[in-house]
């Protein structure tokens, strides 16, 4: 058995810091004051073992187990708990037995959920549960007893008590195996049902495919025949196309020769045209050269003429410009003299203005110095005046402020009195009479709730009826499918048998022959016969091909039929009788009333005799006469010297049995069809009824919705009234509190009014004194201000005069500068005019014009010579163009003669290509048919025509079309479906076998579980009685089964403490319940010791004497089980081998400390 040696906590509830608890003894006590976190240790162990209920963790949700912060610490986002077990003895389950230590850990992060680990390997929660399955530590275990829950063990429901017994018996793993086996069994049955449905569908499909396969086979035969004859058509067409192709090839060769002759003549003419074209090009180049030379000399003549014209214009323009320059020079001289005189006058005026400016500047400086002392006196008096004004205004503002404060106090007093009056009226008007209305509304609410519950009951009843009806519909549908399958099978068999029987009527050629002779082929002998059951095969063998004889009345036959057949003449009147009375005649096995038909059969069977069943032919062979023979029930025929063993004929074998079977099926089919219609009617009625139920369900749902809406409305009304009452109570309390506050405020207002009035009187006296000081200071300020203004006015006037003098001086300086600039500009303009004058005189020159006139005369002489050469070149070019035009016309005539020949050649080539393509097309068709062309050619003669073969192909195509839509894949699909059915049949067998195996496994599990539970129940009952007597010093207690089957019955506890009559558990005191539950837990431990047991204040309801007996029993049980318990009892602490103290020195944070027994005693006294 594994042993718990360490417990590690981090961030779990109040254990925020990583904490490791070493568990060294078999009895470990956990002590500490109330609220320090002792129970958190117990809950951490329960949590790490897979607890998923937040309620069991005393939390709102599972994230609440993470430390949520305290006054000094922030919340964290992760918590973990780890248990470390000693497995040195290898008692852990097989998967983990190899490890000396086993670590079980659970980690949780906010909003991410939990993760489980075993030895740091991530596992499922189920793996944790499997590790402790059957140890009492599982989800339904008894080894973890929380605070105030010890008595709940014996007060549990009977089914829960049985769970404790199952955990002690170690059958939890058996139940888990059984549950998994049931799941597999359910899946197996579902798979089996689905496969059976598929098999049923396949059977129907096979029946359809069998009839389709017969048609597909016939279609394939006709198609192959059609393919062969169509290939013959392609061979014939290829032969014709080959003849046409050769004819077109010879025509093309003839036209090619003719075209080559014409082309040679055309090439000769084109060479002559090319020579003439080259001569024309040379003449054209020569004329271009002469024309360029003429244009060049013409351009030179034009340039000289333009230069002469430009020189004449320049001479006239220079003379006119020289006159204008002389006039401008004269005007500039006059302006220069004028500006020089004005400059002299301005210099004199400047000297006068300079003397005047210096005098005014001295006067301004003198006045400016004298005003500074007057300004200082004025500023001092102004400052003194401002100080008195500020003191006066400050005092005035204080008085105004205090008066405003008194006005505000008066206003506040009025508002407070008004508020008190309003509150008095409000408190009178508060309605506190809502309780009676609330009781009335709550009654209505209960009525609506009752109505909703009634509707829910109707809905539940409707669901139950619908469920029953759905089961009935499922049963009817299954019955419908079964009948439909049977109908499909019978219908398919009828069609197949009818098709086989029809095939015995012969082929089309035979039918044509019988039609010509007015013979009805459908009147067959086998259709008229009725044979005793045991002798059907014997008669079939004896008659042989005569069995398919056509019964007809005829006189003679004109010519032979195209195939073998037997005609039976109904005109026969002679009857043959068996001659051998020692044997049984074959005619005795035939039951027929038609004398003509009997005459016919007597002719064929008069020499045939039957071998009785079970007899050997040897017993009768000696009685045979010449020509007679014997036949047994197997159809074997015996004569004196031979024996013919009966074999299966492809067409006539079983024809009579098939006919009987066909008649029986045709009789059976209507009754099954009627049964199918009855099931359909019942199914329709049930579906209509189900539809009515569904409509009722919709109606009930609407009623429930309306009822819930009304209920919700009533709940809202009740809540409104409750809120109104709460609001009225709260309002009354608030008004009373506000009235008290307002009365205190009025008292304070009176005190403030008196204080403010006294302060205002003192401030008004100060205001009169400051007023007198302000008047005196204001008079002094006015005198100094007048003196200062007079002096400042004189300074301003002197400054203005000084500025005017400086401005005039600046104006005269600007005038002198501007005149000097004008004189300078006139000098520069004269220099420019003199330069222009010199250039104009130089440009007046006639020598250049004379030179240009002489050059012009020379160029005109050269121009005339070149013009004559150009005219001669143009005449030569015209002659060349005439010769070229005549040669080109001759070439066109020759080319036009070539075009018709070329067109004919192209058309012949197209015809030859077309015939070639037809030949290749027919060859491709033959190749695609994948038939031997040699065989095809041998199958036709020279006289065979395409039309004859094509007409025969068309007839074959019509026969194919008469078959209608053909499922060509039917043969393959039929084989595939049969193979699939065989595979599914094997799967059905496997699943049926697996289902039986699983059912046997469940029975074995139930047997083993039952045996172990019975043994465990007896042993636990015995131990329970013993421990109960030890803990109570006597008395009786036992477990009782509430039913006969221990696997599903409940268990109840009966206890009778010493000196008391039989009583129920609910009548026991708290201490008695605790001791009884302890006795039961220890009885379970004795049979199946858990690795460890957690007990949280289990001894709380016990007195000292009972605690002592409890401690002694724990000490005894700790030999096999490790105990961790929380206790405040000194006796319980003393039995501990190890004490773990829990403290909370920091608010909200638990810590582990070493604890001695003396400290424990002090804690007890403190509590």
Binding positions are: 33-40
CA distance 231 to 952: 12
Q: Are strands 1122-1126 and 27-31 parallel, antiparallel or unpaired?
A: parallel
CA distance 939 to 232: 8
Angle (nearest 5°) at CA 598 between 593 and 604: 155
Residue 665: other Cβ atoms inside 10 A: 17
Alpha carbon 350 to its chain's center = 104
CA distance 228 to 926: 10
Under DSSP, the state recorded for 717 is H
**Token code pair at residue 32:** 């500490």
DSSP string over 719-737: HHHHHHHHHHHHHHHHHHH
Angle (nearest 5°) at CA 986 between 982 and 990: 165
Burial class (CB in 10 A: 0-12, 13-18, 19+), 1027: buried
CA distance 1123 to 1138: 11
Q: Where are the beta strands (DSSP E) in 971-1121?
A: 1036-1041, 1051-1056, 1092-1096
Angle (nearest 5°) at CA 371 between 365 and 372: 100
What are the beta bridge partners of residue 1143? 1151
Residue with tokens 């403010």: 756
101 backbone dihedrals φ, ψ, rounded to 5°: -130, 145
CA distance 1048 to 162: 8
Q: Check: CB of residue 46 under 8 Å from CB of residue 56.
A: yes
Annotated binding site for ATP: 33-40
Q: Are strands 121-123 and 550-552 parallel, antiparallel or unpaired?
A: unpaired
Q: Check: CB of residue 96 under 8 Å from CB of residue 87.
A: yes
What are the beta bridge partners of residue 816? none
Helix pair angle (655-843, 434-503), 10° resolution: 110
User: Which residues have CB under 8 Å from 222's CB, separation 6+?
Assistant: 956, 959, 960, 963
CA distance 105 to 123: 10
> Taken in order 112, 117, 120, 123, is the CA torsion positive or negative?
negative
User: Which residues have CB under 8 Å from 690's CB, separation 6+?
Assistant: 466, 469, 470, 473
Q: Are strands 27-31 and 1138-1146 parallel, antiparallel or unpaired?
A: parallel
Could you give the C-alpha distances from 531 to 534, 544, 591, 592, in angstroms and in order?
A: 8, 15, 6, 9
User: Which residues have CB under 8 Å from 899's CB, separation 6+?
Assistant: none
Give 356-364 contacts, CB < 8 A, sequence gap 24+.
356/805, 357/802, 357/805, 357/806, 357/809, 360/798, 360/801, 360/802, 360/805, 361/802, 363/798, 364/795, 364/798, 364/799, 364/801, 364/802
Burial class (CB in 10 A: 0-12, 13-18, 19+), 1048: exposed
Coil, strand or helix: which one is 485?
A: helix
DSSP string over 788-857: HHHHHHHHHHHHHHHHHHHHHHHHHHHHHHHHHHHHHHHHHHHHHHHHHHHHHHHH---HHHHHHHHHHH
CA distance 795 to 807: 18
């Amino acid at each position: 058995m594994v042993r718990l040696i360490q417990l590690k906590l981090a961030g779990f509830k109040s254990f925020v810091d990583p904490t490791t608890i070493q568990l060294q003894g078999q009895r470990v006590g956990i002590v500490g004051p109330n609220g320090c976190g002792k129970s958190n240790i117990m809950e951490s162990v329960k949590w790490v073992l897979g607890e998923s209920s937040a309620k069991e963790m005393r939390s709102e949700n599972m994230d609440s187990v993470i430390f949520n912060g305290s006054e000094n610490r922030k919340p964290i986002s992760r918590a973990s708990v780890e248990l470390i077990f000693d497995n040195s003895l290898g008692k852990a389950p097989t998967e983990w037995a190899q490890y000396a230590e086993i670590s079980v850990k659970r980690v949780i992060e906010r909003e991410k959920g939990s993760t489980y680990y075993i030895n740091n390997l991530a596992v499922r929660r189920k793996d944790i549960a499997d590790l402790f399955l059957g140890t009492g530590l599982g989800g339904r275990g008894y080894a973890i007893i929380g605070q105030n829950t010890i008595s709940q063990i014996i007060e549990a429901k009977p089914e829960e008590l049985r769970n404790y017994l199952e955990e002690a018996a170690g059958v939890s793993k058996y139940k888990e195996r059984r549950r998994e086996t049931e799941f597999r069994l359910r899946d197996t049955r579902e798979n089996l049902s689905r496969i059976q449905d598929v098999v049923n569908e396949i059977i129907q499909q096979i029946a359809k495919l069998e009839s389709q396969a017969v048609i597909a086979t016939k279609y394939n035969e006709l198609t192959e025949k059609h393919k062969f004859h169509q290939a013959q058509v392609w061979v014939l067409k290829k032969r014709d196309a080959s003849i046409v192709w050769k004819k077109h090839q010879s025509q093309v060769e003839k036209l090619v020769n003719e075209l080559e002759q014409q082309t040679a003549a055309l090439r000769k003419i084109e060479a002559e045209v090319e020579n003439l074209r080259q001569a024309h090009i040379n003449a054209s180049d020569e004329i271009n050269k002469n024309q360029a030379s003429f244009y060049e000399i013409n351009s030179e003549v034009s340039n000289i003429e333009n230069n002469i014209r430009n020189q004449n214009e320049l001479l006239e323009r220079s003379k006119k410009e020289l006159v204008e320059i002389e006039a401008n020079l004269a005007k500039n001289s006059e302006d220069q003299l004028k500006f020089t005189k004005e400059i002299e006058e301005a210099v004199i005026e400047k000297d006068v203005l300079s003397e005047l400016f210096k005098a005014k500047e001295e006067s301004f400086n003198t006045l400016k110095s004298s005003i500074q002392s007057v300004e200082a006196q004025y500023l001092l008096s102004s400052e003194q005046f401002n100080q008195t004004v500020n003191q006066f205004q400050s005092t005035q503002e204080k008085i105004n402020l205090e008066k405003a404060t008194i006005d505000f106090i008066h206003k506040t007093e009025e508002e407070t009195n008004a508020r008190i009056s309003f509150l008095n009226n409000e408190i009178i008007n508060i309605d506190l009479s809502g309780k009676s209305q609330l009781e009335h509304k709550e009654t209505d609410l209960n009525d609506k709730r009752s109505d909703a519950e009634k509707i829910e009951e109707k809905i539940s009843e409707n669901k139950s009826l619908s469920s029953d009806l759905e089961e009935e519909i499922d049963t009817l549908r299954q019955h419908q499918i079964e009948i439909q399958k049977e109908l499909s099978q019978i219908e398919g068999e009828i069609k197949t048998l009818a098709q086989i029987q029809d095939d015995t009527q012969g082929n089309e050629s035979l039918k044509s022959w019988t039609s010509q002779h007015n013979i009805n082929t459908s009147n067959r002998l086998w259709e008229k016969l009725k044979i005793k059951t045991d002798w059907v095969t014997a008669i079939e063998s004896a008659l042989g091909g005569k069995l398919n004889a056509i019964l007809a009345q005829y006189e003679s036959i004109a010519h032979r039929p195209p195939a073998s057949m037997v005609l039976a003449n109904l005109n026969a009147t002679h009857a043959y009788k068996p001659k051998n009375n020692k044997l049984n005649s074959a005619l005795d096995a035939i039951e027929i009333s038609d004398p003509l038909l009997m005459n016919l059969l007597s002719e064929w069977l008069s020499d045939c005799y039957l071998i009785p069943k079970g007899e050997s032919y040897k017993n009768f062979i000696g009685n045979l006469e010449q020509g007679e023979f014997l036949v047994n029930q197997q159809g074997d025929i015996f004569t004196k010297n031979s024996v013919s063993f009966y074999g299966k004929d492809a067409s006539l074998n079983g024809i009579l049995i098939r006919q009987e079977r066909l008649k029986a099926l045709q009789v059976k089919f209507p009754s099954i069809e009627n049964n199918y219609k009855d099931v359909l009617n019942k199914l329709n009625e049930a579906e209509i009824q189900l539809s009515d139920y569904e409509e009722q369900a919709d109606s009930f749902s609407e009623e429930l919705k309306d009822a819930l809406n009304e209920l919700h409305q009533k709940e809202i009304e009740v809540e409104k009234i409750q809120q109104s009452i709460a609001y009225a109570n709260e309002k009354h309390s608030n008004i009373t509190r506000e009235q008290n506050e307002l009365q205190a405020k009025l008292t304070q207002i009176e005190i403030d009014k008196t204080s403010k009035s006294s302060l205002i009187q003192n401030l008004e006296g100060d205001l009169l004194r400051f007023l007198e000081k302000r008047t005196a200071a204001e008079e002094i300020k006015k005198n100094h201000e007048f003196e200062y203004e007079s002096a400042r006015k004189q300074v301003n006037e002197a400054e203005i005069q000084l500025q005017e003098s400086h401005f005039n001086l600046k104006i005269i300086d600007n005038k002198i500068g501007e005149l000097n600039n004008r004189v300078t500009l006139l000098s520069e303009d004269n220099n420019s005019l003199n330069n222009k004058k010199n250039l104009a005189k130089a440009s007046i020159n006639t020598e250049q014009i004379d030179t240009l006139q002489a050059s012009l005369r020379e160029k005109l002489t050269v121009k005339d010579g070149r013009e004559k050469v150009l005219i001669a070149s143009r005449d030569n070019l015209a002659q060349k163009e005439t010769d070229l035009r005549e040669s080109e016309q001759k070439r066109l005539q020759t080319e036009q003669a070539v075009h018709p020949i070329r067109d004919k050649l192209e058309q012949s080539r197209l015809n030859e290509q077309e015939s070639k393509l037809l030949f290749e097309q027919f060859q491709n068709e033959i190749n695609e048919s994948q038939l031997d062309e040699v065989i095809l050619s041998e199958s036709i003669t020279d006289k065979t025509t395409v039309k004859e073969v094509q007409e025969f192909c068309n007839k074959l195509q019509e026969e194919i079309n008469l078959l209608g839509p053909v499922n060509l894949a039917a043969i393959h699909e039929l084989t595939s479906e049969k193979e699939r059915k065989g595979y599914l049949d094997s799967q059905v067998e496997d699943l049926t076998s697996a289902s039986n195996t699983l059912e046997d496994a469940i029975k074995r599990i139930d047997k083993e579980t039952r045996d172990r539970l019975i043994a465990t129940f007896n042993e636990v009952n015995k131990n329970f009685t013993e421990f109960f007597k030890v803990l109570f010093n006597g008395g009786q207690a036992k477990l009782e089964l509430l039913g006969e089957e221990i696997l599903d019955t409940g268990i109840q506890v009966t206890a009778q403490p010493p000196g008391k009559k039989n009583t129920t558990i609910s009548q026991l005191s708290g201490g008695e319940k605790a001791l009884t539950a302890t006795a039961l837990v220890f009885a379970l431990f004795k049979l199946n010791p858990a690795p460890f047991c957690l007990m949280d204040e289990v001894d709380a309801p016990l007195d000292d004497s009972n605690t002592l007996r409890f401690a002694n029993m724990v000490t005894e049980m700790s030999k096999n089980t490790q105990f961790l318990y929380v206790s405040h009892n000194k006796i319980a602490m003393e039995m501990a081998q190890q004490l773990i103290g829990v403290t909370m020195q920091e608010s909200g944070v638990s810590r582990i400390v070493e604890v001695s027994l003396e400290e424990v005693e002090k804690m007890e006294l403190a509590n």
